[in-house]
Amino acid sequence: MNYWIVKSEPESYSWEDFVAKGEDTWDGVRNYQARNFLKAMKKGDLVFFYHSGKSKELVGLAEVSETAFPDPTNKDWEAVKLKIRQKLKKPVTLSQIKSDEKLSQLLMLRQSRLSVSPVEKEEFEQLMMLSS
């Protein structure tokens, strides 16, 4: 199993919007590296949902329900389907993530503009611990 973070500005598409649908296509990614991460996702992989913009926090956990397929908004790109797993007991803020030594190598911190990025198993476990 692999672990990931996807980012969305809550003004555009929030965790609450996602919960209302239960499952949705994660599309609109227009960065080659992020696209390659989408292509690497496997059914059952776990995915943190991160609110970018003003709040800057992990808020929920999703699961890959369908692997990469042509993005319906532009067939030259990729999309995946995600389904809701759970809302985090408490959000994990960007400042918490940055101040945690165990998360210092998190790709999200080193390449902050990526909307999709991988998470190592140990990082995933640490983030889950911070959210409980």
Q: With a threshold of 0.75, does the pTM exceed it?
A: yes
Q: Residue 102: what pLDDT?
A: 97
Q: Residue 104: what pLDDT?
A: 96
Q: Residue 25: what pLDDT?
A: 98
Q: Residue 55: what pLDDT?
A: 92
The domain in which residue 76 lies consists of: 3-130
Q: Residue 114: what pLDDT?
A: 95
Q: Residue 130: what pLDDT?
A: 98
Total count of domains within the chain: 1
Give yes or no for a contact between 119 and 127, defined as CB atoms under 8 angstroms apart: yes
Q: What are the per-10-residue average pLDDT scores of the chain (132 residues)?
A: 97 97 97 97 98 95 98 96 98 98 96 96 98 96
Q: Residue 83: what pLDDT?
A: 98
Q: Which two tokens stand for residue 102?
A: 């165990």
CATH of the domain at 48: 3.10.590.10
Q: Residue 77: what pLDDT?
A: 97
Q: Residue 33: what pLDDT?
A: 97
